[in-house]
Amino acid sequence: MSNIQVLLVDDHGVVRKGLRFLLEQEPDLAVAGEAGDGREAVRLAKELSPQVIVMDIAMPQLNGIDATAQIVKQNPAIGVLILSMHNDEAYLLRALECGARGFLLKDNAEEDLVRAIRIVASGKPFFSPAIAQALLEDYMRNLQQRNLQDSYSLLTDREREILQLLAEGRSNKDVANLLDLSVYTVETHRTRIMQKLNLHNTAELVLYAVRKKIIS
């Protein structure tokens, strides 16, 4: 089995050194390169075509989220794993909208980084458990303040099944093939899910699934 090629992007050399040390302990992971800013990350992503990029957010010249958007536009097959100190819904939503496949808190990097890279490399999303918990608490608090109920109970069993598959990054066609449905039927279910949950795009759908711990 070939190694998972990883590009490390952080403007602090000591952080990159620590991440490299963690990855070099794993026989199936290999550090393809390092970048100290977002602009260099975009260049190296094109040059090296790594399977996974571990990406900091706050960097000079080009921040990690905008760099992610450029990289994913160039090569959608690359899985970008955002590594951040910020447990913040706004950062997470922006990262998802730009095409990031995972979001890992720096506080959890030592225990979760290797597993996160493997999951992202397989095409699935990964989010720090602490992020899911914080988002769920904020979401429930907001519902209580507005005297609203969570709409998840309005979904049918089939809609819940499709919600999870879509949140895992599968296309309508993939879902249709998996569930032996027509693409039109999946699209109809997707529309109903978005309406019932008051969601407006795929990023919000993934964020909802993270909150509800439907995906991890």
Helices (H), the chain: 13-24, 38-48, 64-74, 89-97, 109-121, 129-145, 157-167, 172-179, 183-197, 202-211
pTM: 0.82
Nearest residue to 54 via CA among 108, 8, 111: 8
pLDDT tens for residues 2-57? 699 999 999 999 999 999 999 999 999 999 999 999 999 999 999 999 999 999 99
In the three-class reduction of DSSP (H, G, I as helix; E, B as strand; rest coil), residue 12 is classed as coil
CA distance 206 to 60: 29
For 70-114, write each residue's pLDDT tens digit.
999 999 999 999 998 877 778 888 899 999 999 998 888 888 999
pLDDT digit string (tens) for 160-171? 999 999 999 899
Domain limits, the chain? 4-128, 149-211
Fold for domain 4-128? Rossmann fold (3.40.50)
pLDDT band at 135 (very low <50, low <70, confident <90, very high): confident
Higher pLDDT, 172 or 134: 172
Class in CATH terms, 149-211:
mainly alpha
